[in-house]
Amino acid sequence: MQAHIFKILEKKELTKDVFELILERPEGFSFEAGQFFTAKIEDITPPCFRGYSIASGPSKANIELCIKVVEGGRGSNWLNSLKKDDNLTGIGPNGKFTLQNSNKDILIVATGTGIAPFKAMLEEHLKDLSQKVHLVFGVRYVEDIFYKDLLEELAEKHPNFTYDITVSRPEESYEGNKGRVTEILQNYGINNQEVYICGLKDMIDSVSEILKSKGLPEEQIHFEKYD
Ligand SMILES: Cc1cc2nc3c(=O)[nH]c(=O)nc-3n(C[C@H](O)[C@H](O)[C@H](O)COP(=O)(O)OP(=O)(O)OC[C@H]3O[C@@H](n4cnc5c(N)ncnc54)[C@H](O)[C@@H]3O)c2cc1C
């Protein structure tokens, strides 16, 4: 695994505590949609290391990351302090969380920044997929929703792609889906799909239990845990 220097081209706020870093892609850095890289956090000595899914596919010119600022978190807060033209050292690519070579329908479950590897996979692969692809994207509050325009655009362009956004703590007046991803999945038809899940451990464990209880073989459940 090789260390590369990534220059920050742009930083965008996606919500009050999620931001996007757009990085120049170093020469020789090749990866597959869904993989992550390990950022060297250099606020103090010794540095520490944190993994971040690459939120853009390999056919894009730049590398995109989408990062949640965790309260009191060393890595995410240091990354949030970086500015355009700063350099970031990253090691990778790492991981095997990529789409399986399968014709089965696909169900994707993401919470928060767990959507990052799926943004890469969808942007990269939807054009080549003919099976149904459905995404369930969960956030806590309505103002935590991001990438909605992108999802809408993908759904318009690819009739086989559909998505649900669900909000676990919405205001009373919210008219969209309410509840956690697990509640959506309790009522969702599981029909031998390949399922991909990304986010925090508790969510992944709960979703996997639901899928298994609905008879989905364990080998069709693929996940990336963020903690
Ligand atoms: C393979 C992999 C890929 C990852 N990709 C991403 C990514 O694309 N975007 C991203 O924001 N994070 C991602 N993470 C999480 C990331 O590595 C850090 O754990 C996170 O940024 C917190 O680090 P910290 O030093 O700020 O906080 P720490 O002090 O290390 O706090 C860690 C705690 O923060 C919480 N936490 C970690 N990640 C998140 C999150 N994304 N949302 C909410 N709470 C969280 C967990 O409870 C965890 O125990 C990934 C982790 C792994 C293992």
User: 123: CA distance to ligand 1 center in Å?
Assistant: 23
User: 198: CA distance to ligand 1 center in Å?
Assistant: 12
Whether pLDDT at 200 is above 90 = yes
Structure tokens given for 13: 């706020």
User: 164: CA distance to ligand 1 center in Å?
Assistant: 24
The domain made up of 2-94 has a fold known as Elongation Factor Tu (Ef-tu); domain 3 (2.40.30)
Q: What is the mean pLDDT of the chain?
A: 97
Burial of 101 (0-12, 13-18, 19+ CB in 10 A): exposed
- Testing ligand 1's pocket by substitution, the residue of 44, 76, 111, 147 carrying the most ligand atoms inside 8 A of its CB is 76
Residues 126-185 pLDDT 10s: 999 999 999 999 999 999 999 999 999 999 999 999 999 999 999 999 999 999 999 999
User: Domain locations in the chain?
Assistant: 2-94, 106-225
| 200 contacts 226 by C-beta, under 8 angstroms | yes
User: 127: CA distance to ligand 1 center in Å?
Assistant: 30
Whether pLDDT at 1 is above 80 = no
Residue 15: pLDDT band by 50, 70, 90 thresholds? very high
Q: Percent of the chain having pLDDT more than 70?
A: 100
| 82 contacts 41 by C-beta, under 8 angstroms | no
Is 112 close to ligand 1, i.e. is its CB under 6 Å away?
A: yes
User: 226: CA distance to ligand 1 center in Å?
Assistant: 5
| Amino acid (one-letter) located at 77 | N
Closest C-alpha to 39, from 8, 15, 61: 8
| 155 contacts 129 by C-beta, under 8 angstroms | no
For 42, residues 6+ apart whose C-beta sits below 8 A from its C-beta are 78, 89
> What angle (nearest 5°) sits at the alpha carbon of residue 99, between those of residues 96 and 104?
140
pLDDT of residue 113: 98
Q: What is the dihedral of CA 144, 75, 52, 201, to 10 degrees?
A: -70
Is 53 close to ligand 1, i.e. is its CB under 6 Å away?
A: yes
User: 227: CA distance to ligand 1 center in Å?
Assistant: 6
For tokens 């965008």, the residue is 12
Tell me the CATH class for 106-225. alpha beta
Cα distance between residue 201 and residue 185, in whole Å: 17
pLDDT of residue 54: 98
Q: Percent of the chain having pLDDT more than 90?
A: 97
Return left, alpha or beta for 179; rule: phi > 0 is left, psi -120 to 50 is alpha, else beta.
left
For tokens 């033209």, the residue is 85
Is 134 close to ligand 1, i.e. is its CB under 6 Å away?
A: no
Mean pLDDT of 72-99: 97
Is 73 close to ligand 1, i.e. is its CB under 6 Å away?
A: yes
- Testing ligand 1's pocket by substitution, the residue of 70, 96, 139, 201 carrying the most ligand atoms inside 8 A of its CB is 70
- For the whole model, what pTM was predicted? 0.97
Which atom of ligand 1 has the smallest separation from the CA of 116?
Answer: 8
Is 226 close to ligand 1, i.e. is its CB under 6 Å away?
A: yes
Q: How many residues does the chain have?
A: 227
SS (H, E, C) the chain: CEEEEEEEEEEEECCCCEEEEEECCCCCCCCCCCCEEEEEECCCCCCEEEEEECCCCCCCCCEEEEEECCCCCHHHHHHHHCCCCCEEEEEEEECCCCCCCCCCCEEEEEEHHHHHHHHHHHHHHHHHCCCCEEEEEEECCHHHCCCHHHHHHHHHHCCCEEEEEEECCCCCCCCCEECCHHHHHHCCCCCCCEEEEEECHHHHHHHHHHHHHCCCCHHHEEEEECC
pLDDT of residue 162: 98
pLDDT of residue 2: 86
Mean pLDDT of 11-33: 97
Residues 45-85 pLDDT 10s: 999 999 999 999 999 999 999 999 999 999 999 999 999 99
